[in-house]
Amino acid sequence: MNMKPEFVDVVISPVKGMDVLSKLEVSRLLDNSQSGLYATFRNCALAILNSGIALEDSKQLFDKNTAFEIHVVQVERGIKLQLISAPTAAFVDGKIIRGIKIQLYAVLRDIIYIFDEIKNNPNVDLNTSEGISNAVFHILRNADVLQAGVEPNLVVCWGGHAIGREEYEYCKEIGYELGLRGFNICTGCGPGVMKAPMKGANVAHAKQRIQNGIYLGITEPGIIAAESPNPIVNQLVIMPDIEKRLEAFVRCGHAILVFPGGVGTAEEILYLLGILLHPDNEHIPFPLIFTGPESSKAYFEKINEFILLTLGVAALKRYQVIIGDQVAVARKVKKGIAEVKEFRIEHGDAFYFNWLLKIKEDFQFPFITNHENMQSLKLYKDMDSHILAANLRRAFSGIVAGNVKRESMSLIEEKGLFEIHGDEYIMNAMDKLLRAFIEQKRMKISAESYKPCYRIVR
């Protein structure tokens, strides 16, 4: 009996739009010691080639594919990609699946552009708010995501990648209702909530004979290995880091739906609420809906309770919660996007990129979890709500890292608990929310194992 090989060596031809590179660009991608570009390219490509293969985490992905290599080969008519020890699941009868091939070249496009035109461009200032927003715009434009003359119709969907079947089906039905109304879908591109709405919209688009439906996936190198792009994604963009990824969602989306998730989803909620609570953004319409099936009601109740305790009533007014009603959600989105269109026409803002939305540095600079950064946070009830939201997101990220990420746990063992300046009731509210996530099995930690990794400093 002939066993199908698990890995294959192959050279694949380019896709249109990414068939020419300079010798300098190729040399950087071949250099595994200088720029770090090759490692990023390899890891992202490996995640794409393993799309649809069930793996527990990124470590398992890399351990299983230690021999994998990817190289850019210059030929007389342009470039090709040489894959060494690539998983055969990405191929059919010896030919690479077209969607996977397109996503591989999307990674190549974005990594080269970010390195040359963003990070190493003296005309791009990543130390200012305006410079960062401009960088996000140019990355999206280079990926051909921003299209002039197109009506506002992009719905961003946030939520967990590891959700139950009932939640998955609900998300898919929401996507279906949105697709019937002609809306396109944007997600983080992975499984779970990131796949389900796209799948539902894809069916609805087929029923409506919409042949140019967009299923946009936005990710970044640190996430893509754990959340490989799902096969429905037909536009893939790799952003440099989490913060620019989040800004890309907010700038190009016309409405955002938040489905059940875990701590990552809670951080995304705090990110967006912090932006919307900025005084300069109070008048800007931005449809934001939290939704899930009846079985997810407790998740949103805990989120609601936490937001009320920390950010107050003003934050509650920036979103709606709709439980168990897919049609109502789609209709609210439709109504909300109509208001967005009217507002942007009135104020001369682009449909394809929300320039008027004020996003400050607190939401743009990456936060590294360590004792110094955690101690610099301030969490007091008398702070401006948009600043408190930014700091809550950072504290949330650090506390979760201190309980589940090896490097952060090692820091605590070495230097002791993180110190955070703030009101005790705010941190108690955060602990209560985290414990609720644990009880709902939305964190990979047991209730017995969770211990606060910080102490309050007044």
Instruction: Show Cβ contacts of residue 21 under 8 Å, excluding neighbours closer than 6 positions.
Output: 72, 74, 79, 112
Q: What is the pTM of this model?
A: 0.91
pLDDT at 450: 76
pLDDT at 402: 84
26 CB burial (10 A radius; 0-12, 13-18, 19+): middle
Q: Residues of the chain whose pLDDT is less than 70?
A: 1-5, 16-24, 26-35, 52-58, 76-78
Name the amino acid, one letter, at 416. Answer: G
Domains of the chain: 7-123 (3.30.1850.10), 142-361 (3.40.50.450), 367-457 (no CATH)
pLDDT at 321: 97
Rounded Cα gap, residues 378 and 312, in angstroms: 17
436: its two tokens: 């609720």
Rounded Cα gap, residues 102 and 205, in angstroms: 21
Rounded Cα gap, residues 209 and 206, in angstroms: 5
pLDDT at 5: 67
Could you give the 3-state DSSP secondary structure of residue 249? helix
pLDDT at 20: 59
Burial 419-453 (b: 16+ CB within 10 A, else e): ebebbeebbebbeebbebbbeeebbeeeeeebebb
Query: Of 280, 258, 279, whose CA–CA distance to 268 is shortest?
Result: 258
Rounded to a whole number of angstroms, the distance between the first and last alpha carbons of the chain is 71
Instruction: Show Cβ contacts of residue 318 under 8 Å, excluding neighbours closer than 6 positions.
Output: 273, 276, 277, 286, 288
Of all residues in the chain, what percent carry a pLDDT higher than 90?
A: 62
310: its two tokens: 């920390």
Rounded Cα gap, residues 396 and 429, in angstroms: 11
- Using an 8 Å Cβ cutoff, are 51 and 228 in contact? yes
pLDDT at 1: 44
Query: Of 246, 258, 56, 51, whose CA–CA distance to 170 is shortest?
Result: 258
pLDDT at 16: 67
Rounded Cα gap, residues 263 and 270, in angstroms: 11
- Using an 8 Å Cβ cutoff, are 310 and 429 in contact? yes
